Structure 1
Amino acid sequence: MSEQLVGKVLAIALRDADKTVMHEVADATAIENGGLVGDPPSSPDRGVTLLASGQWKLVTDQLGANLPWWTRRANVLVEADSLAHLIGRRVQIGNVELLVIAETKPCGLMDKLHNGLRAALAPDVRAGVYGRVVKAGSFRIGDAVTLV
């Protein structure tokens, strides 16, 4: 099966137990039909969240704010302009395989973190995408993200 390069992993972050603070890590382990080890549990379809670096730059430029990427609360920052084309498709990150389920819709917490962030994230899949872990494994910063 041929693979098409989407981008590469620029950064990885996990939430603490109460889901408030994000911690950047160099690598992560994904559990099939689960999430990332060290990240609080979520539904299987939302096991991993991905954010495109290009979309995040548009958001921060629009807001005129220098916000860390993990303000969006995503697990993985991908070097890509957009991830919209991944919805409904499988991607491989390291030796982890994800089925990208849908667009991440920004919630009210975004405006608590920075005024106007929710509206800036709303168009064009700027808030990223989420997916189900269909093959467990691990990945690290610098790994390729490919369509499979």
Structure 2
Amino acid sequence: MTGTLAGIARRARPKAPMEVLTSAAVTLDGGVEGDWRGQVKPGGRGRRQVSLIERRDWLAAMAELGTDLPWQERRANLLVDDFDLPQVPGTRLRIGPVLLEITVECDPCIRMEAVAPGLEAALTPDWRGGALARVIEGGTIAVGDQIRIEEA
């Protein structure tokens, strides 16, 4: 099963606007380069380095709310298309040269309510809010790169 990396975004600091990119370096120490969340704290495990969301899940949430907001309003780093994100921690994903390991579900927070009333609830069922991952192998990714499950 393969899909496509359809979007890349980052934010320089908490609550900063998202910057949409066409390519980005992804590192072991910093996640998506320039994204504040990706930096591994001393003694940390880097469980939240990179966040991913499926386009179809974002579109389902938008349909449920009767609105049409850009995907980066979810504040995720990577948008994937035609790919079902694994809901199993430990699963490894290959995106171009980058290897990520799913760590946990990306639960939507109350901040989503500021984006659109009801968005937190719309993103809650069945990992619709996405997944979080740690970086296992770094590299540069670009919109259009293939995403697939890496066999361990």
TM above 0.5, yes or no, is yes
**Residue deviations 1:33-92 (CA, integer Å, cap 9, x gap):** 431111114451111111001111100000000110011100010003631445420011
The answer to whether the 8 A contact 1:33-1:132 is kept is no
CA gap 1:90/1:131 in 2 versus in 1, 3 angstroms: same
Q: Tell me the secondary structure at the aligned position of residue 100 of structure 1.
A: strand
1:35 aligns with one of 10, 31, 37:
31
Aligned length: 144
Task: Work out the CA distance in 1 between the residues paired with 2:128 and 2:82.
Answer: 12
Q: Which residue of 2 aligns with 1:62?
A: 64
Amino acid paired to 2:97? N
Task: Work out the CA distance in 2 between the residues paired with 1:49 and 1:93.
Answer: 13
CA gap 1:87/1:80 in 2 versus in 1, 3 angstroms: farther
Provide runs of 4+ in structure 1 moved above 4 Å.
Answer: none
Q: Which residue of 2 aligns with 1:53?
A: 55
1:26 aligns with one of 22, 25, 35:
22
Amino acid paired to 2:142? R
Task: Work out the CA distance in 2 between the residues paired with 1:147 and 1:106.
Answer: 24
Alignment gaps of 5+ in structure 2: 41-45
Q: Tell me the secondary structure at the aligned position of residue 51 of structure 1.
A: strand
Q: Which residue of 2 aligns with 1:74?
A: 76
Alignment gaps of 5+ in structure 1: none
Which moved further from structure 2: 129-138 or 12-21?
12-21
TM-score, normalised by the number of residues in structure 1: 0.91
Task: Work out the CA distance in 2 between the residues paired with 1:112 and 1:102.
Answer: 24
The answer to whether the 8 A contact 1:54-1:82 is kept is no
Amino acid paired to 2:117? N
- Structure 2 counterparts to residues 1-148 of structure 1, below 5 A: 4-5=1-2, 7-42=3-38, 43=40, 44-80=46-82, 82-85=84-87, 87-148=89-150
Task: Work out the CA distance in 2 between the residues paired with 1:19 and 1:82.
Answer: 28
Q: Tell me the secondary structure at the aligned position of residue 131 of structure 1.
A: strand
CA gap 1:104/1:18 in 2 versus in 1, 3 angstroms: closer
Counting aligned pairs with the same residue, the percent is 35
